């Protein structure tokens, strides 16, 4: 019988160390030297496992995207057809992993480095919840991303009731509001 928890490959150790650094100390700590130190090797050895730093970052973006998809799929399974439930899950994931979320959404995605279909998979629950309209789905995603980013960046007033703002957006993009009202 195969080992149920196979030893992680070096590449996996590197990605895991990079993630821990990013999540605990922020983007400035994400250097090849710090990553190597965390793994217990010297920085030049990293280049036997990843061509360059961008490739390490791309692996972290793929992780974040996959976990976002999983969070949305779980929310959909619990509460089918509810954009509010998806929005809550999206917010929860992003606020739990602020540096990772930012890395994954903040700069262009190296699409050749992520699994084909992963972007679509992450978008699918939202598409379904807003009634299958791609334009509504994009607007709803923008709302959720904007709320998360403005919240993470501290741009709302300190005393703002963000739950109410989220509820407003959840209401605005409900599937029932998307079909034919004047």
Interface of this chain with DNA, residues 40 to 79, rule: CB under 7 A: 40-45, 47-49, 52-54
Question: Residue 58: which residues within 8 A CB-CB, separation 6 or more?
Answer: 110, 113, 114
78 touches, from DNA, a copy of itself, none (C-beta below 5 to 8 Å by class) = none
Q: Give the torsion through C-alpha atoms of 54, 58, 64, 65, to 10 deg.
A: 140
Interface of this chain with DNA, residues 113 to 142, rule: CB under 7 A: none
34 touches, from DNA, a copy of itself, none (C-beta below 5 to 8 Å by class) = DNA
Q: Which is nearer to a copy of itself, 39 or 58 (CB)?
A: 58
Binding letters toward a copy of itself, positions 130-169, x by CB under 8 A: ---xxxx-xx-xxxxxxx-xx--xxxx---xxx-xxxxxx
Which one of the spans 36-44, 107-115, 140-148, 164-172 is the region binding DNA (CB under 7 A)?
A: 36-44
- Distance from C-alpha of 23 to C-alpha of 76, rounded to nearest angstrom: 27
Q: Interface residues with a copy of itself (CB under 8 A)?
A: 105-109, 133-136, 138-139, 141-147, 149-150, 153-156, 160-162, 164-169, 172-173, 177-178
Chain positions contacting DNA, by CB under 7 A: 10, 30-34, 36, 40-45, 47-49, 52-54
């Amino acid at each position: 019988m195969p080992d149920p928890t196979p030893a992680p490959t070096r590449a996996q150790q590197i990605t895991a160390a990079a993630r821990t650094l990013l999540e605990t100390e922020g983007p400035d700590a994400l250097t090849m030297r710090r990553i190597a130190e965390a793994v217990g090797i010297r920085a030049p050895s990293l280049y036997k496992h990843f061509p360059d730093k961008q490739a390490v970052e791309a692996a972290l973006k793929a992780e974040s995207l996959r976990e976002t998809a999983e969070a949305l799929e779980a929310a959909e399974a619990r509460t089918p057809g509810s954009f509010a439930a998806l929005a809550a899950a999206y917010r929860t994931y992003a606020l739990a992993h602020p540096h990772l979320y930012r890395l994954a959404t903040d700069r262009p995605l190296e699409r050749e480095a992520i699994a084909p279909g992963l972007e679509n998979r992450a978008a699918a629950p939202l598409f379904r919840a807003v009634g299958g309209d791609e334009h509504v789905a994009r607007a709803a995603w923008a709302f959720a991303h904007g709320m998360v980013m403005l919240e993470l960046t501290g741009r709302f007033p300190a005393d703002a009731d963000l739950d109410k703002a989220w509820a407003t957006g959840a209401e605005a993009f409900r599937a029932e509001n998307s079909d034919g009202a004047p």
